[in-house]
Amino acid sequence: MERLQAAIERAREQRDTRGPARPQRGPAKDKTGVDEAWAALPEIKLQRRLMLRNRIMTFRSSKESTPYDILRTRLVQQAQTNGWRRIAITSPHSACGKTTTCANLAFGLGRQTGTRAVVLDFDLRRSGLGRILGQKGEIPMEDVLSGRVPFKDVAMRHGPNLAFGLGFGTSHRSAETLQSEQTRRVLEEIEAEYQPDLMLIDLPPMSASDDNFGFLNRIDAAIIVAEAEQTTMTQIDVAERQVAELTNVAGVVLNKCRYVNGAYGYEDGYY
């Protein structure tokens, strides 16, 4: 608990000197070589049937993709308005649907030509993004963040404007890795080389460890995914306050809703 509190305090201090709302990172970018860097990434091989089984619905516009597409578009608007580029996805506890939401947002962003997105699995303890995308690999994200393996060795491209950085295996030094100077540098290098309009970062749940407390201050905003009928209001409230101490809260997504009333639902059958 003390470790957690100390991490929050440290992050708050760092954040106060940075100014959260409109992040400014360095001088105007040199665009040389960005197209080449994207083109050099290997194309990810996807099995759509497996992904549909894993609830990834956003390859094309459909009734099933609509809630995620609405979320995507609102997120892009928020990001443009506030100058956000790094967006994390977290939740109060595990299995709320972070990774599923992250993957659906990713392919939704991929369908928006003209927007480049890089999607990273930073849930170092339980990397799940590669699994739901049907990928097999051996390199843990920790190896990339510690500088042992270059990002381009794990990165894969889907179409011209969506790239995934997937990790495999389990880390036992995830909190230390995520708050390290080296991780800060790696993120900046990815931004410099690929110049994404958005980076989506899949994180662990807030309550599982101190991983997020040393990291959320490095991103611009976070989405909190809650699980309908499981996550309590208190859990949402605590997670929201913890995230808000470190970064902007982009919003809370109520996932796995079986009953949606007209107010926040969407009109079925508009296809």
Ligand X SMILES: Nc1ncnc2c1ncn2[C@@H]1O[C@H](COP(=O)(O)OP(=O)(O)O)[C@@H](O)[C@H]1O
Query: Residues in the site for ligand X, rule: CB under 6 A?
Result: 54-55, 91, 94-100, 128, 255-256
> Closest CB to ligand X among 25 and 55?
55
Cα distance between residue 194 and residue 33, in whole Å = 9
Min dist. Cβ of residue 69 to ligand X (A) = 14
Per-residue burial over 63-99, b if 16 or more Cβ lie within 10 Å, else e, is eebbbbbebbeebbebbeebebbbbbbbbbbeebbbb
Min dist. Cβ of residue 251 to ligand X (A) = 16
Binding piece for Mg ion, criterion CB under 5 A, among 6-14, 98-106, 107-115, 133-141: 98-106
Min dist. Cβ of residue 28 to ligand X (A) = 36
Min dist. Cβ of residue 59 to Mg ion (A) = 20
- Which does residue 157 bind out of ligand X, Mg ion, none, counting CB within 5 to 8 angstroms by kind? none
> Closest CB to ligand X among 108 and 128?
128
The residues, any chain, with a CB within 8 Å of residue 157's CB and separated by 6 or more, are 38, 41, 42, 43, 44, 163, 164
Sign of the alpha-carbon torsion through 132, 138, 143, 144: negative
Min dist. Cβ of residue 149 to ligand X (A) = 23
> Closest CB to ligand X among 95 and 192?
95
Cα distance between residue 66 and residue 79, in whole Å = 20
> Closest CB to ligand X among 96 and 187?
96
> Closest CB to Mg ion among 92 and 128?
128
Do residues 13 and 213 touch, judged by C-beta distance below 8 A?
no
Cα distance between residue 247 and residue 20, in whole Å = 7
Cα distance between residue 38 and residue 66, in whole Å = 28
Binding of Mg ion by 97 (CB under 5 A): no
- Which does residue 158 bind out of Mg ion, ligand X, none, counting CB within 5 to 8 angstroms by kind? none
- Which does residue 97 bind out of Mg ion, ligand X, none, counting CB within 5 to 8 angstroms by kind? ligand X
Sheet containing strand 86-90, edge to edge, reads: 155-158, 162-165, 117-121, 198-202, 86-90, 221-227, 248-255
Binding of Mg ion by 104 (CB under 5 A): no
> Closest CB to ligand X among 21 and 260?
260
Which residue's C-beta sits nearest to Mg ion? 99
Min dist. Cβ of residue 99 to Mg ion (A) = 3
In a 3-state reduction of DSSP, which class is residue 104?
helix
State the amino acid at position 73 in one-letter form. Answer: T
Binding of Mg ion by 99 (CB under 5 A): yes
Q: Which of 108, 110, 128, 165 binds Mg ion (CB under 5 A)?
A: 128
Cα distance between residue 158 and residue 44, in whole Å = 6
Residues forming contacts to Mg ion in the complex (CB under 5 A) are: 98-99, 128
